Amino acid sequence: MTDKPVVGFIGVGLMGHGMAKNIRKGGYELVIMGNRNRTPVESLLGMGATEVHSAREMAERCDIIHLCLPNSPLVEATVRGEQGILAGARPGLVVVDTTTADPTSTMALAAEFEARDLHFVDAPLGRTPKEAEAGTLDALVGASPEAFEIVRPVLECWSGSINHLGPVGAGHKMKLIMNFMAMSYASVYSEALSMAVGSGLSPQSVYEVMGPSRMGCGFFETYFAAALGRDPEAHKFSIENASKDVRYVASMATAAGVMNPVGAAVRNYFAQAEAAGKGGDFVPTIGAHIAGLNGIDLTKAVEEGED
């Protein structure tokens, strides 16, 4: 027997599989809800997890439920649906939403939870699937002090850094700030590559000069590793998800009454790439897409730069 809470996990994809694996390794009974991709599900079942077929069933069995989903509408459906979490929730249940979500939606859900003696925690993620598997993600947490103390031991299973930023919604707000900056970098790097190649410089020269300078950073390294073809999976984050996030940034800026003209330009870049059918591609490929809009073949320029 164990006095540890039973932990549920919905969304065991690129990020969720590693997180759920590390929760199980931490000695927690783990309940998962499968999806069309059975590979991570079967992996977790092989580690001793059990599977349910609805969020309602999970809520009836669990004390803490993690969500790691693509967007806020799916979170809302998972929570509020006929077979959703609220339909089966017992008093004291804590939902930890690690989705990169719209803070307005997050705070509305939190109010519904509070009215039913439940807890809603937002804990979006920093870093990549590699760190998810290693258990060293960054957790950006918005929660009441009471809820934070309940979930902290579970968060420690999959995170290397936990930042309790304030009440519910604070985590999702900070995550959007981070992703706004990251996608702005991606847009600027892409424009810079097009300008460099169009001006007769090689893509490699941009990396070799800028990387060691104070303009270099972790995102710079993963972007250029992928954009220059050295590691196409260095930054496994899709254009579709990036486009969603910068839309949420616009909503957040509007709610705060803050101008966001750079965000509008970034949003248009990603919206155009998504509309062109590039949504499933990883973010660094937007460099080649923007180059193409400028009549430049970035792949060819990279090959020529290797000569």
- Residue 238 is part of a domain; what is its CATH number? 1.10.1040.10
Q: Tell me whether residue 2 is in a domain.
A: no
Give yes or no: residues 245 and 114 share one domain: no
Region for residue 201 given its phi and psi (left: phi exceeds 0; alpha: psi -120 to 50; beta: otherwise) = beta
- Residue 104 is part of a domain; what is its CATH number? 3.40.50.720
* β-pairing verdict for 7-10 and 64-67: parallel
Asked if the model's pLDDT at residue 65 lies above 90, the reply is: yes
Locate 74 and state its tokens: 């799916």
Last residue of a domain, one of 117, 133, 167: 167
Give yes or no: residues 228 and 245 share one domain: yes
Beta bridge partners of 50: 31
Give yes or no: residues 56 and 118 share one domain: yes
Give yes or no: residues 58 and 92 share one domain: yes
Element (H, E) at 172: helix 170-198
Q: What range does the domain containing 50 cover?
A: 7-167
DSSP 89: P
Give yes or no: residues 282 and 203 share one domain: yes
Average pLDDT over residues 138-159: 98
The total domain count for the chain is 2
Give yes or no: residues 143 and 212 share one domain: no
For 236-296, where are the alpha helices, taking DSSP H only? 239-256, 261-273, 286-293
Q: What is the pTM of this model?
A: 0.92
Q: What per-residue confidence (pLDDT) applies to 1?
A: 34
d(CA 53, CA 264): 40
Give yes or no: residues 113 and 35 share one domain: yes
User: How many other C-beta atoms are found inside a 10 Å radius of the C-beta of residue 56?
Assistant: 18
Give yes or no: residues 91 and 153 share one domain: yes
Q: Per-residue pLDDT tens for 42-54? A: 999 999 999 999 9
Q: Tell me whether residue 42 is in a domain.
A: yes
Beta bridge partners of 121: 96
In this structure, are residues 22 and 8 in contact, taking their beta carbons and an 8 Å threshold? no
Question: Mean pLDDT of all residues in the chain?
Answer: 96
Of 305, 303, 275, give the one whose Cα is nearest residue 289: 275
Average pLDDT over residues 218-223: 95
Q: What per-residue confidence (pLDDT) applies to 188?
A: 97
Give yes or no: residues 79 and 180 share one domain: no
